[in-house]
Amino acid sequence: MNENERIKQEKNPLDVWEDLVRYSKSGFESIDPDDFLRMRWYGLYQQKPNDGHFMLRIKVPSGDLSTEQLRTVADVTRLYARGITDITTRQNFQFHWLTIQDVPDILNRFAQVGISASGACGDIPRNVTGCPVAGIDPNEVFDARPEAEIIHQMFLDNREYSDLPRKFKTTVAGCGQHCSQPEINDIGATAVRRIRANGEVEEGFQIRVGGGLSARPFFAKRLNMFVPKDRLPSVFHAIVTIFRDHGNRENRKAARLKFLVNEWGIERFEEEVRSRLDWRPDFADDWPEPRKNFRDHVGIHAQKQEGLSWIGATVLSGRLNDSQVYEAARIADEFGGGNIRTTNQQNLIFPDIPNARVEAAAKALEAAGLQVNVSPIRRAAVACTGNEFCNLALTETKRLIVEIVEHVEGAVAINEPIRINLNGCPNSCGQHHIGDIGLQGCLVKQGPGKPPVDGYDISLGGRLGADSKFVRPIRRKVPATEVKHAIANLLNGYVEQREDEDDFADF
Ligand code: SF4
């Protein structure tokens, strides 16, 4: 049994809440070292350099939140987090610089507006992600937020699922473009329709299992079943409990569901899922895979609701200051319907804006530094937390992605969206395996007597959907200061050589 398993067995991490309240009075020094691990179940990590500060992650199911909730995000950012918050690639918000004294107050503030951090980190189902334009996209199969909410509630504070071998990532989405990336989730449920024998159309889900990135990436595999909407919780329950009962608890590096699916094979895994259901799923149809590799929602787009549009605004590096968060809430109230969405590309969506007011709303967003009209490089750039706060990081990331984007925008004339995904270590929170350009942090030796410097392995050609593939490395250990030049040279070469029908992922 590994050390994490011992700590989980001695006390269920969800039971650390009362200790947390006690520590908020007795101080950081009084914290039992084992409880640092358990606190992750409430979204709390020690922040580098482990000197008394914490990072907190809160969950935003389907990336969908009200402006009242967003103002609470702004309040916490301003009052406790030194004025910054980060949008993550799982549609969450993260805060830094928190102290244990403030944690109960912060979590209570969030609870009052219906936001939870329970299950945001730890060996437990994480935030249920979804399509950030659910309910407004004219091309969606159906709005899957109700089903995502049911799954979110099923997992929340539920001890049946709170001691898994490792973290567990899920998505439930109605988007035909699969923008919530089901291919890289432990469970990816995507909306489909089928025609019944009597000619009626039935809506339901296709299920993928065992996707994930980190050091050994796997794409999820499809189960051969059609899952009606109301049966989705039973299928999620079956899959999560298979993982709970059979996942590897000896070696954390082999503990994700992807390893179990790979070891058993998808046929045996599906047999086990079916054996745990008290109903018999029909087999899947041959639903097509989306071919479009680029899945963001930035810019101004007509909604399915007549006369309304959404605006997708870019948050380069995912980092916002408190004034921007307040301003985002104000703009969503003044121009939209009091609702805002986060995306897995670390951007924001402002729905329900009357067409007549959309230009004024876009102007207000631009004035707040939330750019709407942006280059194809800027809109899709993603960066993980990096060594500013993350204990696992090798390199800095948030400043570097800004530097890279600004340089490439000035040096390359390209109108094709290019996704740059940057990580500070092999763990792939910034998803470098699936970027058009993937950057993985490393340290580069400088010769005898000199300290190593930040560097990056550069890879190319990741894509999801039909013909999905992970990146292939092209250059190792490029010093961070040279990465922007290397990318600009690469893209200029592509622009010069490409034919009309070329796609960067095939370059
Ligand atoms: Fe930290 Fe590595 Fe994840 Fe970046 S990819 S946030 S450096 S663990």
Residue 292: its pLDDT value, please? Answer: 67
User: Which pLDDT band holds residue 379 (cuts at 50, 70, 90)?
Assistant: very high
Residue 415: its pLDDT value, please? Answer: 86
Using the mean position of ligand 1's atoms as its centre, give its distance from the Cα of residue 274 in Å.
Answer: 36
The ipTM is 0.99
pLDDT at 37 over 90: yes
User: Which pLDDT band holds residue 78 (cuts at 50, 70, 90)?
Assistant: very high
The residue contributing the CA closest to ligand 1 atom 3 is 429
Using the mean position of ligand 1's atoms as its centre, give its distance from the Cα of residue 171 in Å.
Answer: 21
Question: Ligand 1: which of 94, 96, 385 to mutate, judged by most atoms within 8 Å of the beta carbon?
Answer: 385
CB 230 within 8 A of CB 186: no
Mean pLDDT of 487-500: 91
Of the two residues 295 and 194, the one the predictor is more confident about is 194
Using the mean position of ligand 1's atoms as its centre, give its distance from the Cα of residue 441 in Å.
Answer: 9
pLDDT at 247 over 80: yes
Q: What percent of the chain has pLDDT over 70?
A: 99
Mean pLDDT of 97-102: 97
> Is the minimum distance from the CB of 421 to ligand 1 under 6 angstroms?
no
> Is the minimum distance from the CB of 428 to ligand 1 under 6 angstroms?
yes
Residue 11: its pLDDT value, please? Answer: 96
User: Which pLDDT band holds residue 504 (cuts at 50, 70, 90)?
Assistant: confident
Strand, helix or coil for residue 456: strand
Q: How far is CA 245 from CA 236, 248, 267, 271, 272, in A?
A: 14, 9, 18, 15, 12
Q: What percent of the chain has pLDDT over 90?
A: 92
Burial 282-300 (b: 16+ CB within 10 A, else e): eebeeeeeeeebbbbbbbb
The enclosing H or E element of 32 equals none
Of the two residues 504 and 177, the one the predictor is more confident about is 177
Mean pLDDT of 190-208: 95
Residue 293: its pLDDT value, please? Answer: 64
Predicted confidence (pLDDT) per residue in 360-374, tens digit:
999 999 999 999 999
Q: What angle do CA 335, 316, 336 make, to 5 degrees?
A: 10
Q: Which two tokens stand for residue 367?
A: 């004035």
> Is the minimum distance from the CB of 135 to ligand 1 under 6 angstroms?
no
pLDDT at 215 over 90: no
Residue 488: its pLDDT value, please? Answer: 97
Mean pLDDT of 1-16: 95
> For residue 393, which atom of ligand 1 is closest to its CA?
7
**What's 50-72 look like in SS3?**
CCCCEEEEECCHHHEEEHHHHHH
Question: Ligand 1: which of 319, 387, 423, 440 to mutate, judged by most atoms within 8 Å of the beta carbon?
Answer: 423
pLDDT mean across residues, the chain: 96
Mean pLDDT of 213-222: 94
> Is the minimum distance from the CB of 385 to ligand 1 under 6 angstroms?
yes
CA 275/CA 269 separation, integer angstroms? 10
Using the mean position of ligand 1's atoms as its centre, give its distance from the Cα of residue 353 in Å.
Answer: 36
Predicted confidence (pLDDT) per residue in 400-451, tens digit:
999 999 999 999 999 888 999 999 999 999 999 999 999 999 999 998 899 9
Question: Ligand 1: which of 252, 388, 422, 425 to mutate, judged by most atoms within 8 Å of the beta carbon?
Answer: 425
The enclosing H or E element of 394 equals none
pLDDT at 88 over 90: yes
CA 409/CA 171 separation, integer angstroms? 33
Residue 214: its pLDDT value, please? Answer: 87
Predicted confidence (pLDDT) per residue in 320-353, tens digit:
999 999 999 999 999 999 999 999 999 999 999 9
User: Which pLDDT band holds residue 109 (cuts at 50, 70, 90)?
Assistant: very high
> For residue 425, which atom of ligand 1 is closest to its CA?
2
> Is the minimum distance from the CB of 134 to ligand 1 under 6 angstroms?
no
User: Which pLDDT band holds residue 54 (cuts at 50, 70, 90)?
Assistant: very high
> Is the minimum distance from the CB of 455 to ligand 1 under 6 angstroms?
no
pLDDT at 506 over 80: no
CA 296/CA 391 separation, integer angstroms? 30
The residue contributing the CA closest to ligand 1 atom 2 is 425
> Is the minimum distance from the CB of 424 to ligand 1 under 6 angstroms?
yes
pLDDT at 502 over 80: no
